[in-house]
Amino acid sequence: MGKVIQSKDTKFSEGDIVLSRICPVSEFGVMPSNLLQKITPAIGIALPDYLSCLGMPGITAWVGIEKIGNAKAGSNVYISAAAGGVGIIAGQLAKVKGCRVVGSVGSDDKVKLLKEECGYDDAFNYRVETDYDAALTKYFPNGIDVYFDNVGGKMLEAVLNHVNHGARIALCGMISEYNKVWTEREGVRNLLNMVGKEVMMKGFMVGSYYNHFEEFIKEMEVYLKEGKIKSKHKIYNGIESFLESLASLFSSSNVGKVILQVTP
């Protein structure tokens, strides 16, 4: 996100606030105007919200829950990496839709946060409840209708033992599998369950859904204004904090979106 100082494109004027998916890490820069999106901050919505709920993490959550997951009132929704920048919004969005939502996270503090501040119906720490199959039996007595998958591997396999007929699985990322050669990755052995249960699984990259951005932002702004969804983010100040902010993504110590504010 940045502020326009000067532009040769008449669509932009000095002072406009713009977003871009490929902003460099810099205090000043020259950008092609076709890669910029002008935003008009609505009253009652803070600028950082446009980088979390109303930005990339927000639309990613929205695509997984609405466009792929087709979550409806009463759906049993499971979200892994549920306190991450995307997961934390996905769960709140599913709650707005009237779903029952349970998330898994890597610390007890995050469990508490999801339940007390984000409206999750329940949450568990996968480092404590390491038998995923038993955990899902406990947290989903009525099975899973929608799974927002951020981790893949063993967790995805466990989910496939608990899916309801016609379940939808949105594959957003597979953090458990990134740093492995593919032949060393966890094999998912129960895809056969997808046949009898008629399960749909779809991988997605949010970039393919930016044609829905207007539709998304119109909907999400309402939820934010009504206080139904809250942004969570941590702001690092000054461009000199860049490396620290980047490293924090891998220590899993942050909750929500990590933002680097280069100028006040």
Question: Can you tell me the distance from the alpha carbon of 252 to that of 21, in angstroms, rounded to the nearest whole number?
Answer: 23
Amino acid at 123: A
202 in contact with a copy of itself (CB under 8 A): yes
28 in contact with a copy of itself (CB under 8 A): no
239 in contact with a copy of itself (CB under 8 A): no
Angle at 258 between CA 106 and CA 211, to 5 degrees: 105
Q: How far is the CB of 81 from a copy of itself (least distance, A)?
A: 14
Please state whether beta strands 17-19 and 76-80 pair in parallel, antiparallel, or not at all (unpaired).
unpaired
45 in contact with a copy of itself (CB under 8 A): no
211 in contact with a copy of itself (CB under 8 A): no
186 in contact with a copy of itself (CB under 8 A): yes
Q: What residues does 18 pair with on adjacent strands? A: 2, 38
Q: How many residues bind a copy of itself (CB under 8 A)?
A: 34
130 in contact with a copy of itself (CB under 8 A): no
Is residue 146 within 8 A of residue 168, CB to CB? The reply is yes
The DSSP secondary structure of 99-129, one letter per residue, reads -EEEEEESSHHHHHHHHHHS--SEEEETTTS
Q: Decide: residue 23, CB within 10 A, 0-12 exposed, 13-18 middle, 19+ buried.
A: middle
Q: How far is the CB of 58 from a copy of itself (least distance, A)?
A: 19
Closer to a copy of itself at the Cβ: 28 or 178?
Answer: 178
**Piece in contact with a copy of itself (CB under 8 A), picked from 46-54, 87-95, 191-199, 243-251:** 191-199
The correct pick among 14, 28, 182, 211 for binding a copy of itself (CB under 8 A) is 182
Closer to a copy of itself at the Cβ: 145 or 157?
Answer: 157
Q: How far is the CB of 154 from a copy of itself (least distance, A)?
A: 10
x/- site string to a copy of itself, residues 136 to 165, per CB under 8 A? ----------------x---xx--------
The correct pick among 6, 40, 179, 183 for binding a copy of itself (CB under 8 A) is 183
CB contact set of 135 (below 8 Å; sequence gap of 6+) = 104, 124, 126, 129, 158
Question: Can you tell me the distance from the alpha carbon of 248 to that of 252, in angstroms, rounded to the nearest whole number?
Answer: 7
Is residue 188 within 8 A of residue 169, CB to CB? The reply is no
Q: What residues does 169 pair with on adjacent strands? A: 147, 201
x/- site string to a copy of itself, residues 57 to 96, per CB under 8 A? ----------------------------------------
Please state whether beta strands 100-105 and 76-80 pair in parallel, antiparallel, or not at all (unpaired).
parallel
Minimal CA–CA distance to 86: which of 16, 13, 150?
Answer: 150
Closer to a copy of itself at the Cβ: 81 or 229?
Answer: 81
**Piece in contact with a copy of itself (CB under 8 A), picked from 20-28, 106-114, 166-174, 247-255:** 166-174
**Where do contacts with a copy of itself occur on this chain (CB under 8 A)?**
152, 156-157, 171-174, 177-178, 182-205, 208
